[in-house]
Structure 1
Amino acid sequence: MSLLSWLTGSVFYDLWQHGREIEPLIARKDERVLSRSTPELERHFDETAVEQPRQNGFPVAFVMLLLLVAFALNLLSLLRLLPGLTPPLHALAFFAPALVVLATTISSMFMLARGFSAGLAGFAYLFSGLLLVTVAQLVINLLTGGGAAIPLLIALVALVGCRRLLNGEGFVVFALYCRTARLTRVARTLRLKSR
């Protein structure tokens, strides 16, 4: 079991690995995609969005929210250790990384909703990085007696909640639905070309 599997959870990691296996087939429009789809499934996904059952994107939105909360609390705890910053530098030191993390979460959410495994990779790496930084800051804070550990504990709780959501049924079903929709679009195109 890899470190990333242990950090993110086995269900999420298996979902991501399945996506990594099937992604090249979809991207190349390989004929093997047809073995993973049926004409009935393709007809189902060919219906308009109004005719299809609604998909619940709330788990993905909550994952994004919890990642942003954990990031903000981590960065604020780190910036507290740098008291010599002027207010403009302090604002720049907060908002520049915040924009990068926000862009990463939004693009991961967009890619996930389009059925790409890159969305799962973005969430996995961001979650793992934040978890490692949070634990490292907590350990340093405890060893040095550096002060308030409450924001870091809240960030850790947010990350534990995020991990539960990433491995939860709602997130997995949403990701599989989006991936299957992408797969069936390619399979339908291949079937129509073969006729």
Structure 2
Amino acid sequence: GEFQCGPVAAGDYLLLVHGVGLTALNKKMRSPEWIITKEEVNDYIMYYRPIVSGSHLYFQVGEYVVAFDLETGRKVWEYRGPRMDFFGPFYIRLVLHQGVIYVAGSDENYLYAIDAETGELKWKKEFPGKVLSTPAASGSSLFVAVGGTLYAIDIKTQEIHWEYDLGAETRYGLLIAEGKLFAATRGGKIFAFEL
């Protein structure tokens, strides 16, 4: 199938996401090492680059967050949780921070925290609207945009540290770079917050 996103370099492999699955090409041999088919991910099409950390790769497909072994391509675990609106936006990506995967579903008001090693739910937090943007994490804080509001929450307690009215919705994901948090809105503004 056609490629859904750019490749990911991971150790000896080049990971290619296409409509019918994911192929790991051996960089040295230039041949497929293993393939994950869409049947292995509950017949969902993969749209995004996986996150690679250590010996695992992680991605969200449909209502599932899935972990595979990078060397063998075998499924390590899957977690069914975040509901996606298949007729709505596909803006949300996984975030991996300090051994925890953070993910939201575009069809619900929750943010999920999933243990990256075991696939078990650590917690989920409800917000006053749908989480339509990729969160960002730094230190002990997690940043989440819901509608036109930006929230900073404590990772351990899930309590809200602060919130800020952005004036318009953001669906483009949050970015942390050079000690700052950046948020771009559909109203054409970019905000920068010192961390």
Question: What is the TM-score normalised by the length of structure 1?
Answer: 0.20
Q: Highest relative contact order (Cα 8 Å, sep 6+), 1 or 2?
A: 1
Structure in which a larger fraction of residues adopt helix = 1
Structure in which a larger fraction of residues adopt strand = 2
